[in-house]
Amino acid sequence: MIKFEGVDKIYQQKNTQIHALNQINLQIKQGEIYGVIGLSGAGKSTLLRMVNYLERPTNGEVIIDGKRLSECTAPELRLIKKDIGMIFQHFNLLESKTIAHNVALPLILAKKNKQEIKARVEELLAFVGLSDKAKSYPSELSGGQKQRVGIARALALSPKILLCDEATSALDPQTTQSILGLLKKVNAEYGITIMLITHEMSVIQKVCNKVAVIEQGQLIEQGSVLDVFGHPKHPITRNFVQTVVRTEIPDNIIRRLKVQNINILSRLEMVGEHATEPILATLVNRFHLDVSVVFTNMTEIQDTTLAIWYVELIGNELDKQAAIAFLGEQKVRYKEVDVS
């Protein structure tokens, strides 16, 4: 659906070249909600703007639905852009126009007839829960309501792709949850592929299937949200993950372990239904081990439970090895961790 092949973006500032993007290879499949996360200035907005060719790559290719944008004529690009909707951080509504007119604007520019425009606007305002605000003006709406208008406007021409440029960063936490729920509804009911950029890992946690992490123009990590949250490989990714999910032992606990001369722990990771099974009780009862829980965290990611336990297993070596084999059979990821 969306593919970046060896994409570079270089800006020339006087005698200096700035590499905003460096050899980006990324594929977003149809129907996915794909999050791109990075700190300010990492290059994520530049990457997003490549999709509708507001930014053009210095090198490499952007491919939309099998079409290489660099090979498209101007009329072909216009047709492709009609299939791409966009919502913004600061809403970008026309303050002097009614909510209905704001939603209708893409349809007016596309020269649709009045009856079709009226029906589509009514449908979209009902979809985003703002049927009673058609005659209101943006100044009369809350931030969350304005973003709902922005989403309705972006859906006006029935796009295949929706680009979200920090769509929730100007909103309070409760409103953010409401907007993320609406984006999931857009994806589920209309089958629209969503590419979302953010600097908040909680947004990725709530709504995305896949995630890519960008740092200084480079793609440093990508994969399913569950895999990246459970096994962040890069220090930047680990820092992002730790803002919403504690996958590592806090420093104060490590200091206590050192005082107790405990150097090796067992890390158990359980996903989905396995996260709520009595695994530790089985280790005690069936394998005659003493299990000392040092640290644990359980969280929900995309309606799936992720549980991480750090425990000390105490018992004879044969029982331990039998227990580890059992954990593998139960699809529990096991790893010994040196905390010395």
Provide the percentage of residues in the chain whose pLDDT is more than 90.
67
Structure confidence at residue 26 (pLDDT): 96
Query: What pTM was computed for the model?
Result: 0.86
Report the C-alpha gap between 55 and 47 in whole angstroms.
8
191 pLDDT more than 90 = yes
Structure confidence at residue 284 (pLDDT): 92
Instruction: State mean pLDDT over 62-74.
Output: 94
The residue ranges of every structural domain in the chain are 2-242, 251-338
Structure confidence at residue 114 (pLDDT): 94
Structure confidence at residue 227 (pLDDT): 86
Structure confidence at residue 61 (pLDDT): 96
- Quick: pLDDT tens for 200-244: 898 999 899 999 999 999 999 999 998 888 888 899 998 888 888
Q: 2-242: what CATH class?
A: alpha beta
278 pLDDT more than 90 = no
Tokens of 280: 């530790």
273 pLDDT more than 80 = no
Structure confidence at residue 301 (pLDDT): 80
Residue with tokens 């984006």: 183
- Quick: pLDDT tens for 114-161: 999 999 999 999 999 999 999 999 999 999 999 999 999 999 999 999
275 pLDDT more than 80 = no
pLDDT band at 52 (very low <50, low <70, confident <90, very high): very high
How does the average pLDDT of the chain come out, rounded?
91
* CATH of span 251-338: 3.30.70.260
Sort residue 221 into left (φ over 0), alpha (ψ -120 to 50) or beta: beta
- Quick: pLDDT tens for 1-42: 899 999 999 998 888 888 899 999 999 999 999 999 999 889
Structure confidence at residue 27 (pLDDT): 97
Structure confidence at residue 319 (pLDDT): 92
Ranking 74-83, 104-113, 245-254, 322-331 by mean pLDDT, the lowest is 245-254
Structure confidence at residue 76 (pLDDT): 94
Instruction: State mean pLDDT over 277-285.
Output: 87
